[in-house]
Amino acid sequence: MLLLCAIIIIVAEYLFLRGDEIHAIFIGLWAPTLLCVVIFIKQITNGR
Protein backbone atom coordinates (compact mmCIF):
# COMPACT_ATOMS: atom_id res chain seq x y z
CA MET A 1 0.00 0.00 0.00
CA LEU A 2 2.87 2.35 0.76
CA LEU A 3 4.42 1.56 -2.60
CA LEU A 4 1.12 2.39 -4.28
CA CYS A 5 1.01 5.74 -2.45
CA ALA A 6 4.56 6.52 -3.58
CA ILE A 7 3.64 5.71 -7.19
CA ILE A 8 0.58 7.96 -6.94
CA ILE A 9 2.71 10.83 -5.68
CA ILE A 10 5.22 10.36 -8.51
CA VAL A 11 2.45 10.31 -11.12
CA ALA A 12 0.89 13.43 -9.62
CA GLU A 13 4.22 15.25 -9.70
CA TYR A 14 4.75 14.22 -13.32
CA LEU A 15 1.32 15.52 -14.30
CA PHE A 16 1.89 18.76 -12.41
CA LEU A 17 5.24 19.40 -14.07
CA ARG A 18 3.73 18.56 -17.45
CA GLY A 19 1.20 21.34 -16.94
CA ASP A 20 -1.92 19.36 -16.05
CA GLU A 21 -2.40 20.90 -12.60
CA ILE A 22 -6.06 19.98 -12.05
CA HIS A 23 -5.55 16.27 -12.69
CA ALA A 24 -2.33 16.29 -10.67
CA ILE A 25 -4.12 17.72 -7.63
CA PHE A 26 -6.97 15.23 -8.04
CA ILE A 27 -4.61 12.25 -8.26
CA GLY A 28 -2.37 13.65 -5.52
CA LEU A 29 -5.26 13.55 -3.07
CA TRP A 30 -5.54 9.77 -3.45
CA ALA A 31 -2.35 9.09 -1.47
CA PRO A 32 -3.48 10.61 1.85
CA THR A 33 -6.90 9.02 1.38
CA LEU A 34 -5.35 5.57 0.95
CA LEU A 35 -3.13 6.11 3.98
CA CYS A 36 -6.18 7.06 6.06
CA VAL A 37 -7.95 3.90 4.93
CA VAL A 38 -4.94 1.80 5.92
CA ILE A 39 -4.81 3.44 9.35
CA PHE A 40 -8.55 2.90 9.79
CA ILE A 41 -8.30 -0.79 8.88
CA LYS A 42 -5.35 -1.22 11.27
CA GLN A 43 -7.34 0.34 14.12
CA ILE A 44 -10.30 -1.93 13.47
CA THR A 45 -8.18 -5.09 13.30
CA ASN A 46 -6.25 -4.16 16.46
CA GLY A 47 -9.49 -3.56 18.34
CA ARG A 48 -10.62 -7.18 17.96
DSSP secondary structure, 1-48, as one string:
-HHHHHHHHHHHHHHHHHT-HHHHHHHHTHHHHHHHHHHHHHHHHHT-
Q: The whole model's pTM is what?
A: 0.76
* pLDDT confidence bin for 7, thresholds 50/70/90: very high
Q: Is pLDDT at 12 greater than 80 in this prediction? A: yes
Average pLDDT over residues 17-43: 93
What's the pLDDT at 47?
Answer: 76
Question: Which residue segment(s) compose the domain that 16 sits in?
Answer: 2-46
What is the number of domains present in the chain? Answer: 1
* Average pLDDT score over residue span 18-24: 94
Q: Is the pLDDT of residue 24 over 90?
A: yes
